[in-house]
Amino acid sequence: MSDLSTAIGPLRLKNPVMAASSEATMTEEGILACLDAGAGAVVAKSVNESPAAARQLLIADYALLAPGGDRVGWPDRCGDETLLCRSGLAARDGWLAMLERTSRHARALGAHVIGSITVAEPGPAAEIAREMAGVVPAVEMNVGAPHGREASAVRQVTGAEVVEHYTRTVRAAIDVPLIVKLPAQTDSPLELAAAARRAGADVVAMIGRFNGFWPDPLTSEPVLGSWGAVGGPGMLPVSLYWVSKTFAADRSVPLIGTNGARSGADVARFLLSGARAVELASAVLLRGPGVLAECVEDLADTLTAGGYERAADAVGVAVDRSRSYAEIPPREQPARPWEA
Ligand SMILES: Cc1cc2nc3c(=O)[nH]c(=O)nc-3n(C[C@H](O)[C@H](O)[C@H](O)COP(=O)(O)O)c2cc1C
């Protein structure tokens, strides 16, 4: 059995499997279930200062798309579907007390509950972070929510200077570790990661989901009746690309991978790409919190089969083995595998 312990900056985790912020972590029961399933950490559903962000949850909707593209009902899901959704944020009434209770439960299990803010404005984000820092051991600030392109209650920040400003403002308000969660919908996620670090982020989480649109070819109606945010197994290589490039650019940045992991093997893929922990949301929504226990077990088996005694030893190994295009020796003839 591999030693699964890891660290994201100053925060030690018993294993790298984290429940990401989502509707699965929006209630006390949901957070406790993820903790009891054995997650190393659980990121609570995000809040922010805008009542409109919480109201937006009333227009939230969630569509599953099978690999062929057809929409499938939730009772018929197999767990591998792409998830297209609209989402809002949690209401803040009683939120801190709930974070404090679940955080106590987490401590008893050697795990952590992390408070989360999906930003609107930087000042209020700092104030909410300061309150959270009194009851949880770390705060995650999401500056990349795709819904920010569709509604003003949350913001999607895509410029390095603005990421720096948000990070600096929130950093100054708290003395617990700060995780900054970034979008990939920007010219350079690498620059955003560097900006977040410059401004004092202890940890960078990447990459956020993308915006999506999916018309039904028989009815001509857009699924969900609107644009939305999308994620699924097909996003994993894209997420691994940005994590591995960020790792290659600066190995000192503690990275959390997110977007596309559905299994322990996928968590291992994130570690090999340079992440030190992995946040899963869709898998928990589709399969329930028990998927986190499966991931932990599957990760241990996968690492052992891959020859690793410690999860930490796997971090970034595939990046070290990856070559630039210029380093690939040319063949005598171009490859044409589709003719075989
Ligand atoms: C329904 C839903 C709600 C989400 N809500 C939040 C949120 O409130 N705050 C946040 O930072 N990320 C949120 N996310 C993003 C997830 O935390 C996660 O980073 C993303 O879904 C990619 O991981 P996955 O492929 O495991 O789903 C949400 C994702 C989904 C699907």
| Nearest ligand 1 atom, CA 140 | 11
pLDDT score at 2: 79
Q: How far apart are CA 44 and CA 32, in angstroms?
A: 10
**Considering the chain, what is the average pLDDT of its residues?**
96
- Measured torsion, CA atoms of residues 212, 216, 221, 223, in degrees rounded to the nearest 10: -40
Separation of CA 207 and ligand 1 centre (Å)? 10
296 in contact with ligand 1, CB cutoff 6 A: no
Domain that holds residue 310: 6-320
Asked if residue 129 belongs to a domain, the reply is: yes
Length of the chain equals 340
Separation of CA 289 and ligand 1 centre (Å)? 15
pLDDT score at 48: 95
pLDDT digits (tens, 9 = 90+) for 140-154: 999 999 998 988 889
pLDDT score at 10: 95
Asked if residue 263 belongs to a domain, the reply is: yes
3-state per-residue secondary structure call for 194-213? HHHHHCCCCEEEECCCEEEC
89 in contact with ligand 1, CB cutoff 6 A: yes
| Nearest ligand 1 atom, CA 232 | 25
pLDDT score at 208: 95
Give how many domains the chain has, as a whole number: 1
**CATH number of 190's domain:** 3.20.20.70
103 in contact with ligand 1, CB cutoff 6 A: no
pLDDT digits (tens, 9 = 90+) for 174-223: 999 999 999 989 989 999 999 999 999 999 999 999 999 999 999 999 99
pLDDT digits (tens, 9 = 90+) for 70-98: 999 999 999 999 999 999 999 999 999 99
Asked if residue 338 belongs to a domain, the reply is: no
Which of 59, 50, 224, 235 lies closest to 152, judged by CA? Answer: 50
Asked if residue 184 belongs to a domain, the reply is: yes
Q: How far apart are CA 217 and CA 22, in angstroms?
A: 30
CB contact burial 261-279 (16+ within 10 A = b; e otherwise)? bbbbbbbbbbbbbbbbbbb
pLDDT band, very low/low/confident/very high, at 230 (cuts 50, 70, 90): very high
Antiparallel, parallel or unpaired: β 255-258 and 277-280? parallel
pLDDT at residue 1 greater than cutoff 70: no
Residue 113 DSSP one-character state: E
Asked if residue 75 belongs to a domain, the reply is: yes
Best probe residue, ligand 1, of 22, 56, 279, 285 (max atoms within 8 Å of C-beta): 22
Provide the 3-class DSSP secondary structure of residue 143. coil
Share of the chain above pLDDT 90, in %: 94
For 279, phi and psi rounded to 5 degrees?
Answer: -100, 130
Asked if residue 337 belongs to a domain, the reply is: no
